Amino acid sequence: MATAVALSSSLKHHLVLGIRIPQSPALCRRNGTRISTFRSFTVAMATPLEVCVKASVTTPNKLGDCPFCQRVLLTMEEKHLPYDMKLVDLANKPEWFLQISPEGKVPVAKLDEKWVPDSDVIAQSLEEKYPDPPLVTPPEKASVGSKIFSTFIGFLKSKDPSDGTEQALLNELSSFNDYIKENGPFINGEKVSAADLSLAPKLYHLEIALGHYKKWSVPDTLPYTKSYMKTIFSMESFVKTRASPDDVIEGWRPKVMG
């Protein structure tokens, strides 16, 4: 069983240096004397969160190409939570994995001594259990860009250039472009939220798979969509948790060839 323990860069800094964080930016006064008060850094956990994710099919002991796994890892990274990745070969699922995930699906995360499946459920559970920093997307914004992934798959699998699948994808990307133009740079405005962490891995797959299999890219007529992708793909948490392009290409090959 391949595992990899990850700590966010900011968390590693605090753990190594043993920094105590002030309770407030201001200094307190007691009996006329100016003093500082501190509290311990509390994000650190005794045991990293365990999470089962897809293993690479091109490189041993590396993360694979599942966008739903990356969403969970992005959430942990953005919340500065240490985690222990358990890399699962989905073509040859080990017995220990099937015992905790009878359907054989990833991601699965261990929360409060219980293995929790489904990236939606895991992300919501992490938000409830570790609310700071908050990543909640307001309900009225949570579905922004939600149809892009399904229309991307339809276009990727299409063998008929005139079947309307390319236009369906362009329509969704255009709607997203208009939304980000008015509300960006992220879905919830100035800060990254859960909706971005869900959409970004899917856009990454779109860019690589369509570029490889159809020689297609997001058109320059959608500058806000392109800028959004460039910005979020360059985030430290994204770079750390992304799959290799080769893995993304291999991951989509059965759908394209099938």
In tens, the pLDDT along 138-172 reads 999 999 999 999 999 999 999 999 999 999 999 99
Question: Quick one: which of 143, 38, 55 has its CA closest to 97?
Answer: 55
Residues with catalytic annotation? 66
DSSP secondary structure code for residue 177 in this structure: H
pLDDT in tens, 54-100: 999 999 999 999 999 999 999 999 999 999 999 999 999 999 999 99
User: Which fold would CATH assign to domain 49-257?
Assistant: Glutathione S-transferase Yfyf (Class Pi); Chain A, domain 2 (1.20.1050)
Each domain of the chain, given as residue ranges in start order, spans: 49-257
Task: Judge whether residue 35 has pLDDT over 60.
Answer: no
d(CA 173, CA 180): 10
- The alpha carbon torsion through 185, 189, 192, 196 (nearest 10 deg) reads -80
User: What does pLDDT average to over the chain?
Assistant: 88
- Phi and psi at residue 79, in whole multiples of 5°? -95, 5
Cα-only R_g, the chain? 21
Q: Which amino acid, one-letter code, is at 38?
A: F
